[in-house]
Structure 1
Amino acid sequence: MSIKLNDRYKEHLMEIGSDIIEIDRIKQAQEKQAKFVDRVLTPAELDLYKELKGHRKYEFLAGRFAAKEAFAKAYGTGISGKLSMLDIEILPGEYGKPVVSSPYTGEQKVTISHSNDLAIAVVILN
């Protein structure tokens, strides 16, 4: 059985993506391959990353990695030839709230959180 939505409801549909990553895995990837960070962070994100010290640096990188993976899941392509990590930029907006810039033209929401060991992100696209 298929359900046909009335056009007036289509504008309310949303896509949701989430991702969780162990911060230590990101730290190991960066230590193993110095260019890892250049494949994940845009130049503006990289500037923020370079200002951080110690564990906070890896939390930031893991958070951005998780957020970009979550975005790609919500977008429907995953990270692929159609969408790279560098196509998605997440910078602090007003009051530090993360703001997404990407090829997607609709409304974009992201939240990023960390514990000592994990980073998690959720993205909603309208």
Structure 2
Amino acid sequence: MIYGIGNDICDLRRIRASLERHGDRLAAKLLGDQELVIWRQRRERWPERGLRYLATRFSAKEAFSKAIGLGMRMPMTWRHCEILNLPSGQPAVVLHGSLKEWFDARGLRAHVTLSDESDYAASFVVVEQHNPRYTP
């Protein structure tokens, strides 16, 4: 059963301007530990690739927060939600801490897709409920 759907589009120019203003602090605020490692590697090799990585993760987390119906309210936090890639390359939502507990208690599962083109990054998230007996 579909629990929620979320989407987001992010202007890369906005992320670029924020990075110029705030530097690495922006990435440290938005990315989880595993994402930070990947972001630093990509940014080091090619700064534009690092920017696109940060923008797609920002967009996916916004879409995820909409799909679960919380927005950016506890237990949803930037760092408790990571968008990582499976060995196949498929993006996956990986949760931590109280957000993972909240999500698992409801029997939820998320599917995410990411895109970036020219000046934009876009994401779409579908959250399924596998335990339809749970009622909020």
The answer, yes or no, to whether TM exceeds 0.5 is: yes
Correspondence for 2:80: 87
- 3-state secondary structure, aligned to 2:40: helix
Which of the two has higher C-alpha Rg? 1
In structure 2, runs of 5+ residues without a counterpart are 129-136
Q: Is the 8 A contact 2:2 2:126 kept in 1?
A: no
Q: Is the 8 A contact 2:6 2:64 kept in 1?
A: yes
Once residues 96 and 29 of structure 1 are traced to their aligned partners in structure 2, the CA distance between those partners, rounded to angstroms, is 28
Percent identity between matched residues is 31
Two-structure CA RMSD over aligned residues (Å): 1.1
In structure 1, runs of 5+ residues without a counterpart are 1-11
Once residues 13 and 30 of structure 1 are traced to their aligned partners in structure 2, the CA distance between those partners, rounded to angstroms, is 36
TM-score by length of 1: 0.86
Structure 1's consecutive aligned runs of 4 or more residues displaced over 3 angstroms after TM superposition are none
Amino acid at match of 2:119: D
Amino acid at match of 2:87: E
- 1:52-79: CA deviation from partner (whole Å, max 9, x where unpaired): 1221111100000000000000111101
Correspondence for 1:23: 12
TM-score by length of 2: 0.80
Q: How many residue pairs are counted as aligned between the two chains? A: 115
| 1:43 is aligned to 2:33 | yes
Once residues 2 and 49 of structure 2 are traced to their aligned partners in structure 1, the CA distance between those partners, rounded to angstroms, is 36
Correspondence for 1:125: 127
